[in-house]
Amino acid sequence: MAMLYPLLVRRLGGFLWPALLVLGLSPRAEAGPYSALVVEVESDRVLYQQNPDELRHPASLTKMMTLYLMFEALSQGRISLTDTMVASAHAVSKPPSRLGLKAGETLTVEDGILGLVTQSANDAATVIAETLGGTEPAFAEMMTQKARQLGMNSTVFRNAQGLPDPDQWTTAWDMYRLGKALIKNFPIYYTYFSRESFWFKGHEFHNHNHLLGKCEGVDGIKTGFINSSGFNLVASAKRNGVRLVGVVFGGPSHARRDAHMREILEDGFAQLEGREPSVHLASFDAPAIAKPLMLASAGSVNELSSARPPRHHAAKPVKAPPHKEAAKPAHTRDAPANRHAHAPAKSAAHTHEAHNSGKPAKSSAAASHHAAAKQTPAHAAPAHDKHHGKSSSGH
């Protein structure tokens, strides 16, 4: 039966998902390489780390930078929360997760923000990119340039959503720097990441960050998934005035990723109370089975492969962050002059909850790109949109 996968991919194209369902098959969600990091924000004290400088595909963690640039535009008065944005044919062609926009439809800036933080909507992310950058490739170059300003020297962005691209890379350290910059530079807009759900055109959308309300102090920020990276999460928790930011790459399911994040955050807070660090075993040893998306795009499953062998990762003793001089974002350069000018609007329409249970299709990671990605110039921008029709979700 496994031999049917490549045949289906080649022959069925846009009808791949229905065919898989008829045959009773589900694309496998294979965990990517594991890496993780927990850091106390004010001191940059490292409380846990495992492969934090190794390159990983960011998946929908990419949307953190898309939102950073939107928050910056809001703080500088270049755009307002009530401004409307028009969805292009290019934007609505993106695979799930999405809001289901149609070409020519409009959405407000605030709805676009909420679409990213809850539904991790790829169509909304592309609308934001085209609104701020003119084209998605131009916006991706803006994203990479901003990454350099924030000290994210190992990160290269090629699109606004995190859809699979072999040249789009980051590290756990860089995602920590971005999370910290969002918290520090845009404290008002950061509160959007705690929104558990919102309504859009009669539909409810839940936040994919399942630690909200379930892990003490967690108030954001972003999930991500593609098969080449596994289930990723950047989470922040604040207790008794102390804030930690954690990063996990490579979970085989959102549940096991979330459980591991909870464990290393709890241990981080325990260390701050004087306890010895625990030794954590991230036993991501079996790929999960992903449920197919009901609205999966054409050709969204084209890199199905067999499961990887078990991987067990024990925590390394940590004393201080590597490259500490780059760990702090350039607050003075990127902090807005009027960061409180546009407080997030609150309305009854945003108090309901929804659930998006779809899982995206599979994509692959090429470890051979690791060295090449490190040498990608900071100013490099794609000559065209490298979307290959592979799904990406914020789970």
Other Cβ atoms closer than 10 A to 76:
13
Relative orientation angle of helices 136-149 and 122-133, to the nearest 10 degrees: 80
CB atoms within 10 A of CB 273: 8
Among 203, 239, 201, residue whose Cα is nearest residue 219: 239
Q: Out of 60, 97, 253, 300, pick the active-site residue.
A: 60
Residue 180 annotated among the catalytic residues of the structure: no
- CA angle, corner 26, sides to 23 and 31, nearest 5? 160
What's the angle, vertex CA 189, arms to CA 188 and CA 193, rounded to 5?
115
Other C-beta atoms closer than 10 Å to the C-beta of 201 total 10
**What is the Cα–Cα distance from 318 to 199, expressed in whole angstroms?**
43
Residue 370's φ and ψ, nearest 5 degrees, are -55, -55
Instruction: Decide if 60 is catalytic.
Output: yes
Quick count: other Cβ atoms within 10 Å of Cβ 331? 12
The C-alpha angle with vertex 394 and arms to 91 and 121, in degrees rounded to 5, equals 25
State the Cα–Cα distance between residues 34 and 13, nearest whole angstrom.
Answer: 31
Strand-pair category, 288-289 with 28-29: antiparallel
**Rounded CA separation 73/133 (Å):** 11
CB-count burial class (<10 Å; 0-12, 13-18, 19+) for 386 = middle
Q: Out of 35, 63, 236, 359, pick the active-site residue.
A: 63
169, 373 in Cβ contact below 8 A? yes
In the set 35, 75, 97, 120, the catalytic residue is 120
* CA pair distance 243, 42, nearest whole angstrom: 8
Whether 120 sits among the annotated catalytic residues: the reply is yes
Catalytic residue annotation: 60, 63, 120
